[in-house]
Amino acid sequence: MVRLKFQPVLWAAACSSLCLSIGIFIPPSVAKPPLVRGRSGMVTSAHSEATRVGVEILQQGGNAVDAAVATAMAISVVEPFSAGIGGGGFLLLRIGETNQMVALDFRERAPLKANSQLYLDAEGKVIPRASIDGHRAVAVPGTVAGLQAVHQKYGRLPWSTLLQPAIQLAEEGFMVSDRTTRIIALRQDTLAANSAAKAIFLPTEQPLKVGDRLVQTDLAKTLRRLAQDPQTFYSGSVALAIAEDMRENKGLISLRDLKTYQPTWRQPLCGDFRKLQVCSMPPPSSGGVHLLQMLNLLAQWNQFPANAEHPDYLHMLVETMKIAYADRAEYLGDADFVEVPIQELTSVPYAQRRWRQINAAQARPPEQVKAVDAQTLKRLQQESNDTSHLNVVDRDRNAVSLTFTLNLGFGAGVVVPGTGIVLNNEMDDFATAPGVPNAFGLVGNAQNAIAPAKKPLSSMTPTIVTEAGQLRLVAGASGGSTIITTVLQLVLNVLVFDQDVSTAINAPKVHHQWRPIPLRVEERVQWPKQTLAELQRRGHSLKMRSQWGNANIVEVTPDGELQGTADPRGEGVAKATSF
């Protein structure tokens, strides 16, 4: 077992706002996760109780969609800091019988009263933390609408059956983990400023302790209402409670915002990598575009070394990341509001052009890595045709990859009185001003500017890989801006370097998002000194980081066996059905 030096007080003091993203917290000791095997079905999630719920639903005759809904609802209870009914997300579904891919966008959207000047002062400067803390940081939640929509279309068991385990967890409570207590401590001041949040998570003026039982009576009552009628969240008693709390605290969400919210069925983004088809989410997630873009770039390389820690591979991987994130800052946004050159950015001719710009011997400074101009993209088109993640695979090889979020830990730090609902702070994922970084250090421009009913750009990357029409891999992660690069490295570790999923998920990761400049290198294991020295020699400025994404993954082996695991950086588990 690898032991890391860890001092809670120093950690909390030094941790940037990025640490508050769900899934980028690393416990003080980490061991390689177990490789779980099965054949009939499997669930992986960020929490053992949620995984248990999903497996029980499969064993009751539910399909992958049923299990995903129940698992997500359980996460809303046992990970109130990461994702839940007060947030939103994305779902990718593979229908086993036909190999059809379906994508559902239930991302939060800006309130109708929102505008591009929302978080700017009289001088046009960004007001610190205005898009992070409190009622005005909240976007219209989409989780309940999204889960209801996918269940109505593809579910098998009754909706109320799927919510019952989450209701029980909220009513009876569960033992608070080390991870939960640490994230409460990190957001203590914000939670203390909201009386409803304080009553739940700081009941004695101090954060809950490891081993305390967290009972969420109000949330249980809300879930019971939703079990009877999920639309009560958008047009019934729950909606009225949210709207009233917003009115009393100068928030922006109105009853009209809630009544008019609808999830959106979208065409998944799919592309070829070697003999595989890789599918992920289209905008307003940037995940699918840039996962395919980076795979296309690396597909131009015929010199993959034997292992994933070789400096040649790491150098080319990082240079590829820089290109993708530079394009993200320039071109990505909600495609319902702005034109996003998806086809061009994910095309092979574009990858070929950009690949030629990479110097195999020298890192390029970010100022030299720029998005291709719009006219070049147009010509290419003419030339070429905290957050939580869960995976479910059932006996028919239906597969769900679902990522959903509240954005930062405990979202806006707001709980709607009498409901137990923790609300998101997803407004921070917009570009509050051109070139001004958000909590994850990501920058954007007018493409991702705030507008009424617009959805903020996301990094969520639920991913499903098939080979010759057969399911091969189901994966995803939490972790803010590191999500895309985490999923990329998982895919490459398994499919290029032939690692089993436990080795692949445990392997140390690197991340570069164009700006800020340093190459983030995970420090939880000892890297070969010559590898780090060679990266520095090539011009990479290294910054060792302990916090990272929190992934989970399921692989289908050539003989049809399911192999799954969850990230040792979190506290999730994989579990197979017993039949």
Question: What are the catalytic residues?
Answer: 387
Q: Nearest Cα to 482, choosing from 243, 250, 238, 286? A: 286
List, in order, residues 6 or more apart from 547 with CB less than 8 Å away.
15, 18, 19, 24, 25, 26
In angstroms, what CA-CA distances link 28 with 177, 320, 326? 13, 31, 34
Residue 214, both tokens:
């967290």
CA angle 109, 422, 224 (to 5 degrees): 100
Query: End-to-end alpha-carbon separation of the chain, Å?
Result: 33
Strand-pairing partners, residue 47, are: 571
Strand-pairing partners, residue 543, are: 520
List, in order, residues 6 or more apart from 231 with CB less than 8 Å away.
148
CA dihedral 230, 402, 52, 262 (to 10 degrees): 0
Q: Distance between CA 4 and CA 434 in Å, rounded? A: 38
Q: Is the dihedral of CA 469, 473, 474, 478 positive or negative?
A: negative
Helices 64-78, 143-154: axis angle to 10 degrees equals: 160
Helix (H) or strand (E) holding 391: strand 388-393
Q: Number of H helices and number of E strands within the chain?
A: 20, 23
